[in-house]
Amino acid sequence: MPYLTPLLGPFVTAFLLALCLTPVVRALAHRARVMDRPSPRKLHARPVPLLGGLALYAAIGGAAAFFAPPAPGLIGLVAGATLLLLTGLWDDTRGLRPRTKLLAQGAAALLALAGGVSINFLPHPILNWGVTVLWLMGLTNAFNLLDNMDGLSAGVAAIGAGAFALLAARYIELGPEQLPTAVAGAAIAGACLGFLRHNLYHASIFMGDAGSQILGFLLAGLAAYGSWRSPTLPTSLLIPFLVLAYPIFDTSLVTLLRWRQGRPITVGGRDHSSHRLVQLGLGRTETVLLIYLFALTHALTAALVTSVSLRLALIALAISVSVLFIFGMVLRKANVYGDGETWPGAGRKPAVPKEEGIPVDQTTR
């Protein structure tokens, strides 16, 4: 498969950079005392260094800068990712209000939009711009929320980035944006896998908000920037949703269940899909691997959609939605709320889940 050749260089380079830079950043976090400390809403029992986002940013940027051809859209994405890196580091070290984080995410989305990243399927440019900004902000938050267990966000991001890279390289003849998309996707996948060496099990470093926001933003940007081979426009729109199905599912599930129970949506808690799986009896490693499997299955479904008719694509989508719906109905039964803790801003007193059965070496943002 010769179309894989352009992916090898950025993938290996980003992998090695992340693998080598992460220990350096970890030492820097220790020295600067930038640590994620235990709290009633977090599952790790010891302080863990933050700043892993710095290593991810440097690895992705270094590989993409060396291998990616000049592309206006990527410049806009780099500008937005840099803004999110800076605000994420501030949040990791000093804390930011949710409103301030949303403003930063909106500004980053506008930078990407100004650089040429845009979804173009609606009849008016303003509508396309609005959908693009919402898409970028939504996926940025989705990966930020998914970063709640060792290796989870980085692993899902690696699968999604790898899928985008392979699809963009496979159909590189569709336009000049395909090669930059493929190279950037390979760089993200390689950087995430290199970072996972230090983050997957008994994590020695966390990526922090800086890392999770960068990953979500870049993946959303690649989904909007690339072209996805398909017989029809509807099926081409399905591909990004399928590749990023699990982060979208997790965020939707948490938002809906918190809203139904009157709990504040913006306050972190141990009620994500990963926490619910642990509460239902799975171990930490089993939970992470199961979510990887969901992400990989949907990525493979996206690859299938590129070469089938609209009818078959819709059938594949219906099966995926049905599986996630049933999965969500099971997860909502998990008893993740206990008694005793008041959530800031809530009118009643929902609490964090009990400690029994939950590993203590993980973190919740």
Question: Which two three-digit tokens encode residue 345?
Answer: 């801003």
pLDDT value, residue 157? 97
Q: What is the pLDDT of residues 252-274, one digit of tens each?
A: 999 999 888 888 777 777 889 99
- Exposed/middle/buried for 279, CB within 10 Å: 0-12, 13-18, 19+? buried
Contact 72, 116 (CB under 8 A): yes
Q: Spell out the SS3 assignment of the chain.
A: CHHHHHHHHHHHHHHHHHHHHHHHHHHHHHHHCCEECCCCCCCCCCCEECCHHHHHHHHHHHHHHHHCCCCHHHHHHHHHHHHHHHHHHHHHHCCCCHHHHHHHHHHHHHHHHHCCCCCCCCCCHHHHHHHHHHHHHHHHHHHHHHCCCCCHHHHHHHHHHHHHHHHHHHCHHHCCCHHHHHHHHHHHHHHHHHHHCCCCCCCCCCCHHHHHHHHHHHHHHHHHHCCCCCCCHHHHHHHHHHHCHHHHHHHHHHHHHHHHCCCCCCCCCCCCHHHHHHHCCCCHHHHHHHHHHHHHHHHHHHHHHCCCCHHHHHHHHHHHHHHHHHHHHHHCCCCCCCECCCCCCCCCCECCCCCCCCCCCCCCC
| pLDDT surpassing 90 at residue 236 | no
pLDDT value, residue 203? 86
Nearest of 324, 272, 264 to residue 298 by alpha carbon:
324
Instruction: Report, as an integer, the average pLDDT of 130-144.
Output: 95
pLDDT value, residue 340? 39
pLDDT value, residue 187? 97
Instruction: Report, as an integer, the average pLDDT of 81-106.
Output: 93
pTM of the prediction?
0.88
Question: Which two three-digit tokens encode residue 253?
Answer: 């599930």
pLDDT value, residue 201? 81
pLDDT value, residue 137? 96
| pLDDT surpassing 60 at residue 345 | no
Measured CA to CA, the distance from residue 199 to residue 184 in angstroms comes to 22
User: Would you place residue 354 in the very low, low, confident or very high pLDDT band (cuts 50, 70, 90)?
Assistant: very low
Instruction: Report, as an integer, the average pLDDT of 323-333.
Output: 92
Measured CA to CA, the distance from residue 265 to residue 258 in angstroms comes to 6
pLDDT above 70 covers a percentage of the chain that reads 89
